[in-house]
Amino acid sequence: MSATVGVAIQALNAHDFVTQVRQAEMAGVPVAWTTIGGAGGADPLTVFAAALTATDTIRLGTAIVPTWPRHPIVIAQQALALEQIASGRLRLGIGPSHEPGMVRNFGVRWEAPLTELREYLTVIRSLATTGAVDFVGRHVTARATLREPQPLELLASALRPKSFEVCGELTDGAISWMCPASYLIREALPAIRRGAERAARPAPPLIAHVPIMVSEDREAVRALARQQLGNYASVPFYLAMFREAGFPEASAGYSDAMLDDLIVSGSTEEVVDRLCRMIEDGCGEVLAHPLLEPGDRAGSIERAFHAVALAHQRVSRA
């Protein structure tokens, strides 16, 4: 796939999600993504069915569907239904998410998450490509057949080098989150290449999931980021990544230097330039995650969609 710039939808409910996806399509955004809570807490794959029937061309991606709460056969069945509704427009991103939420919310036994991800990728890929699976692993037992399987773009989340290597080996793309740009270039891209080399396959793209805000008030952007993204400083996996990225101070609070490496902000033209520069630096794709200004949610979304569409137009012409 050619270089792309897409946007994360942050909706209040399922109806709002569909409305925003239509707005993004009309603005010229090629891909709309959602995170776990991005459809207002509603199940994203269910909401995707409504959004796909309400639009014509925009692609929809999950960043991500957590693996632990649902069996890979179920995920494959849901993906097949969406492919049958709108073939080629689904981008299925899966991942183990993170221990605190998965244990607290679902009571899972958090063991060997990368092994679990490998098993899910194996089962879903087999069902999507052959329509059948017979697999017994450490976490997953899966025996099933599906009528009329369809090829599926299968992505996975990644945070640290080993997970980026798994993506290089087994997926169609690695989705990052909260990773400073310098870390993605220095650590993530080489790790994806290592995984791909082990599997003797071309390296899949890095989908850089980055916070953005069209605002020239950098101090206000930093303050908003600390408010809206500060909870990641309490998650051990993220803290380990921040240390590897060269920002050990994150455990006591996000420094200005870290936020400037992490967040894309400025005027519309500055945001467009930096998003395009991430593509030039080796990211195969950018997933822009708008920071929403209190009191101007609609304006924040509209400005972000406009900048993303302009960036996509520029990289498409390159």
Per residue in 295-317, pLDDT tens?
999 999 999 999 999 999 999 99
Q: 264 near 184, Cβ under 8 Å? A: no
Average pLDDT over residues 36-54: 91
Among the listed residues 34, 2, 7, 21, the one whose alpha carbon sits nearest the alpha carbon of residue 287? 7
pLDDT(99) > 90: no
pLDDT(78) > 80: yes
Domain that holds residue 101: 4-317
Average pLDDT over residues 263-273: 98
pLDDT at 1: 55
Alpha carbons 33 and 44: distance in angstroms, whole number: 10
How large is the C-alpha radius of gyration of the chain? 19
Q: 35 near 63, Cβ under 8 Å? A: yes
Q: Any idea what the CATH number is for the domain that residue 99 is in?
A: 3.20.20.30
Q: Determine what percent of the chain is predicted with pLDDT higher than 90.
A: 91
pLDDT at 20: 98
pLDDT(18) > 60: yes
Average pLDDT over residues 107-135: 96
If one counts the domains in the chain, the total is 1
pLDDT at 164: 98
pLDDT at 2: 72
